[in-house]
Amino acid sequence: MPNNVTINLDVRNSASSGDGYINVLASNGQTYSYKYSGGNGSGGGGNAEFNGRGSANVVVQLHSDQRYTISNVTFNDPNNQLSWVNHAPTTATIHNQNSVVQSAYYEIFVFDSNAGATVPCDPQIINK
């Protein structure tokens, strides 16, 4: 049975300057940047890989200042293996049924309460 995976997410309200953060446009049209760390996928950039069958959880912890909270999680999941099971302000727990081989994506939406903007951040989950 696969082990649970913990991933960290940091969000900034500015563009990256080549420091490993990924630039993205927020809902207000401003450039933000985010960086995933941890995970057990190649490169450790927030990707999660599961070898063998059996359910497991991916726990994403937001490590940014208090203005940021997790507002939503969506999936590009062709076999409906993923579901969002924890709705805490700074932690998103994603349950992976892990019953079929697939590559899927989840996208964490982080809300910036100071700007009233939502920032999309997306890594990958792979079932091997």
pLDDT of residue 123: 73
Helix (H, G, I), strand (E, B) or coil at 44: helix
Between β-strands 124-127 and 48-50, what pairing exists: parallel, antiparallel or unpaired? parallel
Residue 62 CA from chain centroid, whole number: 9
Give the per-residue pLDDT at 44: 65
Strand partners, 127: 50, 102
Residue 44, phi-psi category: left (phi > 0), alpha (psi -120 to 50), beta (remainder):
left
The token pair at 10 is 């940091």
Contact 34, 23 (CB under 8 A): no
Q: What is the dihedral of CA 17, 19, 24, 28, to 10 degrees?
A: -60
Average pLDDT along the chain: 91
pTM for the model: 0.91
Any idea which architecture 5-127 has in CATH?
Sandwich (2.60)
For the chain, helix (H) and strand (E) counts, in that order, are 0, 11
Token digits of residue 52 = 């063998």
Percent of the chain with pLDDT over 90: 71
